[in-house]
Amino acid sequence: MQRVEITDRPDLKIYCPFCGTLAITDNGINKCEHTLFIVADVGGFEYISPKLDFDADVDLDEQTMDEFTDAIEYPDSIKFAVYQPAPSFFGGYVGFALN
């Protein structure tokens, strides 16, 4: 899975690179057919595509959510890793794949 790291800011928007759908809106998540997952360090998975072979209660086995999502193998996929600035450094992760 390819990876793009971004520092969070109030005006940040994450769009699907394949169809242009806004992934996270003021009203919550807005998945498209390319969305593989939407997850945060705090709060866990908001969405997991049925294309992936795990559910929201997956055992991370001492990995961080960032490490776990980095290890997902899916063809033609990309992950946007959005990090809060210091001092929190919490992250949110959105994965997309070309179908």
Give 23-44 pLDDT, tens digit per residue.
988 788 999 999 999 999 988 8
Identify the domain containing residue 7 by its residue range: 2-97
pTM summary value: 0.91
* Alpha carbons 36 and 43: distance in angstroms, whole number: 17
* Alpha carbons 69 and 91: distance in angstroms, whole number: 12
Q: How far apart, in Å, are the Cα atoms of 99 and each of 35, 37, 53, 61?
A: 10, 14, 16, 29
Sign (positive or negative) of CA dihedral 85, 21, 74, 46: positive
Q: Give how many domains the chain has, as a whole number.
A: 1
Q: Taking 90 as the threshold, does the pLDDT of residue 61 lie above it? A: no
Establish how many alpha carbons lie within 13 A of residue 90's alpha carbon, considering only the half-sphere containing its beta carbon: 8
Yes or no: say if 7 and 56 are a contact pair by the CB < 8 Å rule. Answer: no
